[in-house]
């Protein structure tokens, strides 16, 4: 007597593990980015004020502009890693999950590489 459920393959652990690693990499990247925004602006403005005492507006202007531009891109990359991790856990939209894995590589090297490999290998499990 054969059952129809015996023919189905049990879900693999790789998309789930890759998704969790993507989410962790994205969250850690966001925490680091918030730290960079807060303390980078404070220390950058102090350094600029010491280097250029005659121009008061540069004390806060340039460090915050530079940090803000880099942080904007970093925030977008980290959010994409989190979204890709969610799609990987749900096993939907393999392309988005793969893009999230690539962004996780940018956010966190080793963890992102492992997540990307898990997501890329488990392509057949996505809808």
Average pLDDT, stretch 7-30? 87
Average pLDDT, stretch 90-107? 94
Is residue 59 a contact partner of residue 45, using CB atoms and an 8 Å limit?
yes
Average pLDDT, stretch 71-90? 94
pLDDT band at 1 (very low <50, low <70, confident <90, very high): very low
Pick the more confident residue, 17 or 3.
17
Tokens 């392509």 label which residue? 123
Share of the chain above pLDDT 90, in %: 50
pLDDT band at 81 (very low <50, low <70, confident <90, very high): very high
Backbone angles phi, psi at 12, to 5 degrees: -80, 160
How much helix, strand and coil, in percent to the nearest 5, is found in the chain?
85, 0, 15
Share of the chain above pLDDT 70, in %: 77
Cα separation of 110 and 113, whole Å? 5
């Amino acid at each position: 007597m054969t059952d129809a459920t015996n023919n189905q393959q049990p879900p693999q652990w790789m998309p789930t593990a890759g998704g969790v690693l993507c989410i962790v990499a994205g969250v850690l990247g966001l925490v680091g980015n918030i730290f960079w925004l807060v303390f980078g602006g404070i220390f950058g403005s102090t350094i600029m004020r010491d280097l250029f005492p005659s121009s008061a507006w540069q004390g806060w202007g340039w460090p915050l502009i530079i940090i803000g531009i880099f942080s904007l891109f970093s925030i977008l990359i980290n959010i994409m890693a989190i979204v890709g991790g969610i799609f990987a856990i749900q096993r939907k939209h393999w392309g988005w999950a793969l893009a999230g894995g690539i962004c996780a590589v940018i956010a966190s090297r080793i963890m992102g590489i492992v997540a990307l490999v898990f997501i890329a290998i488990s392509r057949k499990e996505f809808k």
